[in-house]
Amino acid sequence: MPSEFQVRRARTSDVPRILELIEPLVQSRILLGKERVVLYEAVQEFRVVEAPDGELLGCGALHVMWEDLGEVRTLAAADGMRGRGVGHALLERLEADALELGLTRLFCLTFETDFFQRHGFTEIGEGVVPPEVYAELVRSTDDGVAEFLDLARVKQNTLGNTRMLKTLV
> What is the C-alpha to C-alpha distance for residues 38 and 88, in angstroms, rounded to an integer?
25
> What is the C-alpha to C-alpha distance for residues 37 and 168, in angstroms, rounded to an integer?
31
SS3 126: coil
SS3 157: helix
Does 1 reside within a domain? no
75: domain CATH number is 3.40.630.30
Does 15 reside within a domain? yes
Torsion of CA 88, 162, 105, 152, to 10 degrees: 140
> What is the C-alpha to C-alpha distance for residues 133 and 105, in angstroms, rounded to an integer?
14
pLDDT number for residue 1? 42
Does 123 reside within a domain? yes
Does 139 reside within a domain? yes
Q: What is the pTM of this model?
A: 0.89
Torsion of CA 10, 56, 143, 162, to 10 degrees: -130
Range of the domain at 162: 6-167
Number of domain units in the chain: 1
Provide the H-helix boundaries in 31-102.
36-41, 86-101
**pLDDT per residue rounded down to tens, the chain (169 residues):** 446 899 999 999 999 999 999 999 999 888 888 999 999 999 999 999 999 999 999 999 999 999 999 999 999 999 889 889 999 999 999 999 999 999 999 999 999 999 999 999 999 887 788 889 988 988 888 888 888 887 877 766 666 789 899 999 8
